[in-house]
Structure 1
Amino acid sequence: MSNLIPVFKPWVPEWLIRITLLLVVLPGIILFSLSISNVGAAAGYYGISPNDAQYSMIILYAATASFVVLEKRFFRNIASKTYLLISVLLLVTTCYICYYVHTFFVLLIFRYIQGMLTCASLSITLTLMFTRLHSERSKEIGYSVVYCILLCVSPLSTLFTASIIDDFNFNVIYKCAIYSFLPGAILMCIIMNNVRLNRKLPLYQLDWASFVIYSAGLCLIGYIMVYGQQYDWFDDKRIVYSVAIVIALFAVFVFRQLSSKRPYFHIQAFKSRKFVLAALLLFVFYICRGAFGVTTSFMSSAMGMDPIHVGYLLIYNLAGIIVSVTISSRFLLMKKPLRHILILGFTLLLAFHVYMCFVFSSQVNTEDLIIPVVLQGLGAGMLMTPVILFVISSSPVQYGTTGSAVGIFMRFTGFSSSIALINYFQLYRQNDHANRFQEQLSQLNPLAVQKLAVYKQALTGKGIAADQATKIANGLLNKNINAQAQLRFAVDYYQLISWVLLALILLVILFPSANRTIINLKSRQPAPVVY
């Protein structure tokens, strides 16, 4: 960085710099959750399945995860102001195209490009943000604020997009994204000097081959996880071929990294048991985050809540996140044992999943969900900053940004695996419970007969003919059976997650070296894993 010219113009106050940086960061992060903020609306607008809508988000995530290492070379080659404006301008262009496009394949292409551009814009913005923070205390607070925003984006996007989609077509959210980029970009253009943050590195010997192999592998992993259940896993040739290609791609990728003088990232980092534990914690944490989708789905289907009211209930989740991020940040500043923070966070998530096993019912009220929703926010907020900093700090120093790259990979695979697990349980466990209920009906269970009589009496009381009332009553009973089967699937899945969390808590207790990990915040560059 130049010693003569500052990054920001001298007349700009510090508070304006920080607000402007946040205005640039927020739209980029929100792009991640647009596709899944309202899966039904996205699927309906583009004429695609809900799995297709989920995959459009996965493809963006895969692009970010694979480009994060290569992006650093571009970052070091172009002046900061130019780099930021190019990234934002191209992001606005892709949002404009996504606003007009109706073809799913074209949408996937530009969502992938958005992933790469989001990686670039967030990298420069977060780097600028952390260069303003000099003490370890201020950096810790900075990390906590960024991770808090990252956790809050999903419920916030649900809340804000619900009201938009209620009045407009789904594609309007891309127009809103365009407008959201403009204030931050205009302000940055005014207050920044066009200086370099690092010594310029020429764009030669870029490892495009590793990027293409790695990116293709991640896209296929996402494809397998999202569509595996829909195609009945290995009974379909598409899944079999995809798995074979993934294995081949990653075999080539690993061989290439081990034999290269300048590897894309260092496979040797996995020799550290502490690093493997940190990566495992991050993987399970994102599976648990994905499991929260079962609760929001329960609010919509079983309780009949519309997206706007689901968003209102998620405000309690936001409150829990903000409170617990503040507490975990304080714990880290006070040098509390990392193992204690991790145990507390995973225990809160365990309490949420166990609590929900008793809450899942067709008779539940909105007030009954407030406590578990807050618990989930408390657990997620307590873990987010410590777990990610644990991954970064446990990565051997000589391997550079490998910790950050692996961190994003574990987040990607954790989120994708969560989708696959939910799809699997929803099909097999829900069908299993539905079949059991149907068997009880075929045996003329007195409770079923009584329920049918209640339905029929209510319908005939409204003037419906007896034969028609019988047909409608049978339909209502079948609908009730499907609803109960869905509730049982939710209980089964949350019981599984509870056992996984319990095993993970025991692993942290029995792995004392987690306490000896030093959270390193001395680096002036932010970790890309924050995406």
Structure 2
Amino acid sequence: MVWKDFVPQFLRFPLIIFIIVVYMFSGGIYMSAVAEMTGTWGWINEDVMMAGYASMTGLTMAFPLLFRILFRFTTRDVLLFSGAVFIICDYICMICDFLPLVVALSFISGFFRIVSTFVCWSSIQLKITPKRDFAVFFPFLFTFVLGSVQLVNVATGYSIYAFDWQAMHRITIGAFILVFALVYFCMRSKFRQGPYIPFKGIDYLGGIMWTLWLFCIIFICVYGEHYDWLDGEPIRIAIAFAVILLLMCLQRAATIRHPYINIRTFSQHNMLYIFILFGCMTLMSATATSTQNIFTSSILGYDARHNADLNWGITAGIAVGTGFFFMALTKWKWRIKDIVLTGFVSFLLYQTMLYFLIDPSTEKYMLYLPMLLKGAGVSIVYTSLTYALAGCVTFEYYFEAMCVIGFIRTSFGGPLSSAIMTRIFNNVKQANTANLGSYIDPMYYNCESFQTLYSEFQRQMLMVSLKEVYGWAVIMAVIILLAILLSDYRVHLGARASQMLRLSQIWRQVRHKSD
């Protein structure tokens, strides 16, 4: 109903989906362009990654405020303001080399990305599932959300190959201008999805404190290897700040009337198990974002274009995974535990296949099946655990629980897992360098030049190290699978898991919480 009368009925749903996809392309910084940005601005890789994870942190910290924003502003105003923010943030991030400003703008862009897309999804959820069934809504939702993340990587890689890294920013700015005009001229200015609720009872200071704590954790994970962990003073200072901030956040959550994240959220049913499983998922995904890129770039010699092509396999896997979740839950009546287990089996198959494919003769088409399995694993685990969370947590704490789960799912989980895999890879590489180095002298007599010999030595050492890291990843995946099989982890799903609340019911609960 947000559209004006002259917009045809058959176009209204596709237009909302189009707006969602365009807004998902926002973010300030595109981490797929890390090599090109470091060359342009004289940054190090960690600087670009810090800005990229700041965007994901902004997305995470927006969850407790989503319904407050939905009931405070009209749909048109939220989308127009978000579009203007995206245009400004993307433009400044394209031309600015002042890292703190880029990090701050990336955080703002991530915050408004989830706000704007949430408003859009709220307006079409009854079109997707008139029965308000989460088992139908979540697969549809995460197909577009997770798929859009991969399409961003594809578009970034193609734009770098054709033009430069700034081309992606210019393309998204043009798309935001188009969407801004569409919203401005075609949406009703007074349409609101629920009765008005003012911004009262919001713990802004608590939100800032939790955000600073997440930034400290991300800084430690991203820059830890650069500063040699505890041997570096910045890391020790960041750890001290993180401990102090965490204690302050928990004390505030336990003492004030309306905290940003209620202390009871952490003790909700199955919260710890779901948090741990999401952590295992990010750890299994780390080999695809760090170790795999070393293989494709250094061993196979792929450029941005060919690395981007691999994301098509992940995108197809995401669609397969969400489709599998829908069929397993609604048609085959599987338990959530069995669906989660299937997702981790898909991760195990991905790790195993990559272990045997680490070779300079590997063709690109051979990597598409592992990429499909990786995408399927992510979407199955992501969708099923989010569905489980809806069945374990009451609505009063649900969006705060989504924020807490987002700590590991979309905020520091990625850099923490990458830091672990990078540390393992560096230790393995150092050991293999020492072991293989003893064979250089006898090999030198059979080689035309030392440069040729050293180049081959580096390649062999890298392949051995990568294979060993993937071997450890397979072992970790097997341990996780055994832990899930042997655990007493169960999700007791009631009516609130199978059916979403009506907007009027949500409004009453949000209104009561703001008093």
TM-score of the pair, normalised by structure 1: 0.87
Shift in Å, 1:14 = 4.5
User: What amino acid does structure 1 have at the position aligned with 2:272?
Assistant: V
- Shift of the 123–358 alpha-carbon distance from structure 1 to 2, 3 Å rule, reads same
Q: Which residue of 2 aligns with 1:23?
A: 18
Aligned-partner Cα distance in 1 for 2:284–2:26: 21
Q: Which residue of 2 aligns with 1:106?
A: 101
1:373-412 deviation digits (Å, cap 9, x = unpaired)? 2222232233221122223322244424222112211212
Whether contact under 8 Å (1:33, 1:157) holds in the other structure is no
Secondary structure (helix, strand or coil) at the match of 1:201 reads coil
- Shift of the 337–71 alpha-carbon distance from structure 1 to 2, 3 Å rule, reads closer
Whether contact under 8 Å (1:36, 1:53) holds in the other structure is yes
Residue 478 (structure 2) pairs with residue 502 (structure 1): yes
Aligned-partner Cα distance in 1 for 2:455–2:394: 55
1:62-101 to structure 2, matched below 5 A, reads: 62-101=57-96
Q: Which residue of 2 aligns with 1:279?
A: 275
Secondary structure (helix, strand or coil) at the match of 1:401 reads helix
- Shift of the 205–371 alpha-carbon distance from structure 1 to 2, 3 Å rule, reads closer
- Shift of the 512–66 alpha-carbon distance from structure 1 to 2, 3 Å rule, reads same
Aligned-partner Cα distance in 2 for 1:245–1:393: 35
1:355-388 deviation digits (Å, cap 9, x = unpaired)? 2112212332324323322222232233221122
1:75-133 deviation digits (Å, cap 9, x = unpaired)? 32222211221111122122122222233333222212212222322221222232434
Whether contact under 8 Å (1:91, 1:114) holds in the other structure is yes
- Shift of the 387–505 alpha-carbon distance from structure 1 to 2, 3 Å rule, reads same
1:140-289 to structure 2, matched below 5 A, reads: 140-193=135-188, 194-272=190-268, 274-289=270-285
Secondary structure (helix, strand or coil) at the match of 2:92 reads helix
Task: Please say which of residues 273-282 and 151-160 is displaced more in the overlay.
Answer: 151-160
Aligned-partner Cα distance in 2 for 1:93–1:484: 47
- Shift of the 160–124 alpha-carbon distance from structure 1 to 2, 3 Å rule, reads same
RMSD, aligned α-carbons: 2.4
Q: Which residue of 2 aligns with 1:379?
A: 377
Q: Which residue of 2 aligns with 1:365?
A: 363
Q: Which residue of 1 aligns with 2:510?
A: none
Aligned-partner Cα distance in 1 for 2:47–2:64: 28
Aligned-partner Cα distance in 1 for 2:176–2:487: 44
Whether contact under 8 Å (2:22, 2:175) holds in the other structure is yes
Q: Which residue of 1 aligns with 2:511?
A: none
1:167-206 deviation digits (Å, cap 9, x = unpaired)? 4332221111111223333333344322222222222343
Aligned-partner Cα distance in 2 for 1:387–1:14: 35
Q: Which residue of 2 aligns with 1:431?
A: 430
Shift in Å, 1:252 = 0.5
Whether contact under 8 Å (1:320, 1:375) holds in the other structure is yes
Residue 485 (structure 2) pairs with residue 485 (structure 1): no
Secondary structure (helix, strand or coil) at the match of 1:31 reads coil
Aligned-partner Cα distance in 1 for 2:330–2:482: 25
Shift in Å, 1:251 = 0.5
- Shift of the 400–305 alpha-carbon distance from structure 1 to 2, 3 Å rule, reads closer
User: What amino acid does structure 1 have at the position aligned with 2:429?
Assistant: Q
**Which of the numbers 279, 298, 305 marks the counterpart of 1:301?**
298
Q: Which residue of 1 aligns with 2:406?
A: 408
Shift in Å, 1:136 = 4.1
Whether contact under 8 Å (2:135, 2:387) holds in the other structure is no
**Which of the numbers 24, 49, 53 marks the counterpart of 1:54?**
49
Whether contact under 8 Å (1:33, 1:153) holds in the other structure is no
Residue 470 (structure 2) pairs with residue 523 (structure 1): no
- Shift of the 313–342 alpha-carbon distance from structure 1 to 2, 3 Å rule, reads same
- Shift of the 79–398 alpha-carbon distance from structure 1 to 2, 3 Å rule, reads closer
Residue 324 (structure 2) pairs with residue 321 (structure 1): no
User: What amino acid does structure 2 have at the position aligned with 1:229?
Assistant: E
Aligned-partner Cα distance in 1 for 2:398–2:365: 48
Q: Which residue of 2 aligns with 1:337?
A: 335
TM-score of the pair, normalised by structure 2: 0.90
Q: Which residue of 2 aligns with 1:129?
A: 124
- Shift of the 271–142 alpha-carbon distance from structure 1 to 2, 3 Å rule, reads closer
1:24-71 deviation digits (Å, cap 9, x = unpaired)? 222332234952112211211222111111111011112222233245
**Which of the numbers 336, 347, 350 marks the counterpart of 1:349?**
347
Unmatched tracts of structure 1, length 5 or more? 1-5, 457-472
Shift in Å, 1:246 = 0.5
1:474-510 deviation digits (Å, cap 9, x = unpaired)? 2222222222332233233323332332232223323
User: What amino acid does structure 1 have at the position aligned with 2:47?
Assistant: D
Whether contact under 8 Å (1:75, 1:124) holds in the other structure is yes
User: What amino acid does structure 2 have at the position aligned with 1:101?
Assistant: C
Aligned-partner Cα distance in 1 for 2:460–2:386: 38
Aligned-partner Cα distance in 2 for 1:71–1:523: 15
Unmatched tracts of structure 2, length 5 or more? 507-515
Secondary structure (helix, strand or coil) at the match of 1:514 reads coil
Shift in Å, 1:137 = 7.0
Task: Please say which of residues 356-365 and 172-181 is displaced more in the overlay.
Answer: 356-365
Aligned-partner Cα distance in 2 for 1:511–1:27: 41
Shift in Å, 1:243 = 0.5
Structure label with greater radius of gyration? 1
